Amino acid sequence: MGLKPIPAAWRQTVCAALRRGSNGARFTEDGRQRWENQFPDAFPYEVVDAFIRFLSAPQALGCPVQMDHPAGETWEFFFPFRDEKLYGKLLLKKSDGKSVIIFSAHRPDRPKLRCE
Amino acid sequence: MVATPAKKGIKLRPFEVTIPTPDGTAVADRIKIDVPMEWDEDIHEWTLTPEAESLIETTKARYMGLLLPEQLRALRERLGLTQKAIGDLFQIGAKSWTRWESGAQRPSRSINLLLRSVYNGWITPQQLGLLCAPQPDWSEQFRRNAAAGQAAEPVVIDYYRARAENAEPGFVEPLHYAVS
């Protein structure tokens, strides 16, 4: 096991979706409320920018995630936000191949990712 | 698992908008609003629509006293400025101003105080322009006043008051002077 390089094609498509704002990448209800609770003074574009910065780096590492409803390709990773390490989990949907679901953007519950 | 018909489509669902304390580190208040969420068949979860995000952001901005994008545009139009000119006035550049006006980004809370002051008419663009201009060297004046046992601040205040009162109508000239 161990952290894996997040595939370039996935990163590029996800970043393109994130740049389209909430038309391209949507939070789940739980994910959005958790983000809201942990960062009351932040706006979502800030975490989206942080996702884009992290995923634009070729050396971005993470773990592939098997979901209960495998509707595409999901990766989890740690990424920097305001001098903190946050946990992120994003799905690139298979149904259209270009839209993203933001499941998580919050302080880590565990010190390690699943594949570490 | 198949979603029940009641879950399909778009539905108003409750969301708690958190309002930060002034230092931004904690939650000062929670505002409950209903926002449109869409049931996603692929993941079997509710997702936030763009309209939901807009409602949440507008609520948060309003409770935080942040100027909304349309208020920023109204301010610029009231002053008769281009995005570049107003970006120069607030020393943040046209790009940032454009992002604020489109709602793509928000001004910081501290710059928002300045924006609100101008929006409310408490600070005029002329006064702002004067503050951007090269400032006099007050050290000799301060020394002289100190030697005479007088405070220097009234001199400074009188200076700016006089300049603001004598400024040309409109702010373009002082602003141009300030940023040239």
Which tens digit of pLDDT belongs to each residue from A56-71?
999 999 999 998 777 8
- Spatial separation of the C-alpha atoms in residues B117 and B114, rounded to whole Å: 5
pLDDT at B7: 60
Q: Parse chain B into domains and list their residue ranges.
A: 5-64, 69-123, 124-180
Whether B12 and chain A come into contact, CB under 8 Å, resolves to no
Q: Which residues contact B79 (CB under 8 A, 6 or more apart)?
A: B86, B125, B171
- Spatial separation of the C-alpha atoms in residues B173 and A74, rounded to whole Å: 56
- pLDDT exceeds cutoff 50 at B139: yes
A24: closest CA among A107, A98, A115? A98
Range(s) of the domain holding residue A50: 4-106
CATH number at residue A25: 3.30.2310
Average pLDDT, stretch B89-118? 93
Whether A18 and chain B come into contact, CB under 8 Å, resolves to no
pLDDT at B180: 28
The reply to whether A115 falls in a domain is no
Q: How far is B13 from chain A (nearest CA, A)?
A: 9
Average pLDDT, stretch B20-35? 94
Which residue of chain A is at minimal alpha-carbon distance from B105?
A: A45
pLDDT at A41: 93
The reply to whether A111 falls in a domain is no
- Spatial separation of the C-alpha atoms in residues B170 and A69, rounded to whole Å: 62
Q: What is the ipTM of this complex?
A: 0.94
Q: Contact A95/B42, CB-based, under 8 Å?
A: yes
Lowest mean pLDDT among A80-89, B151-160, B164-173: B164-173
The reply to whether A112 falls in a domain is no
Average pLDDT, stretch A10-32? 97
Whether A107 and chain B come into contact, CB under 8 Å, resolves to no
pLDDT at B176: 35
CATH 1.10.260 corresponds to the domain B69-123: yes
Q: Which residues of A touch B53 (CB under 8 A)?
A: 21-22, 27, 44
Q: What does each C-alpha distance from A74 to A50, A52, A60, A85, B107 come to in angstroms?
A: 18, 16, 14, 19, 33
User: Which of residues A56 and B125 earns the better pLDDT score?
Assistant: A56
The reply to whether A50 falls in a domain is yes
- Spatial separation of the C-alpha atoms in residues B59 and B55, rounded to whole Å: 6
Average pLDDT, stretch A101-108? 98
The reply to whether A14 falls in a domain is yes
Residue to test with chain A: of B10, B42, B55, B102, most A Cβ within 10 A: B42
The reply to whether A24 falls in a domain is yes
- Spatial separation of the C-alpha atoms in residues B47 and A25, rounded to whole Å: 10
Whether A110 and chain B come into contact, CB under 8 Å, resolves to no
Q: Which residues of B touch A34 (CB under 8 A)?
A: none
Instruction: Using pLDDT thresholds of 50, 70 and 90, give the confidence band for residue B170.
Output: very low
- pLDDT exceeds cutoff 90 at B162: no
Which residue of chain B is at minimal alpha-carbon distance from A46?
A: B105
Q: Contact B20/A40, CB-based, under 8 Å?
A: yes
Instruction: Using pLDDT thresholds of 50, 70 and 90, give the confidence band for residue B178.
Output: very low
CB B44 within 8 A of CB B3: yes
Residue contacts between A and B (CB atoms, under 8 Å): 80
Instruction: Using pLDDT thresholds of 50, 70 and 90, give the confidence band for residue B177.
Output: very low
What whole-number percentage of chain B has pLDDT above 70?
Answer: 87
Q: Which residues of A touch B66 (CB under 8 A)?
A: none
In chain A, the number of structural domains is 1
Residue A28 DSSP class: B
Whether B48 and chain A come into contact, CB under 8 Å, resolves to yes
- Spatial separation of the C-alpha atoms in residues A50 and A79, rounded to whole Å: 7
CB B43 within 8 A of CB A67: yes
What whole-number percentage of chain B has pLDDT above 90?
Answer: 58
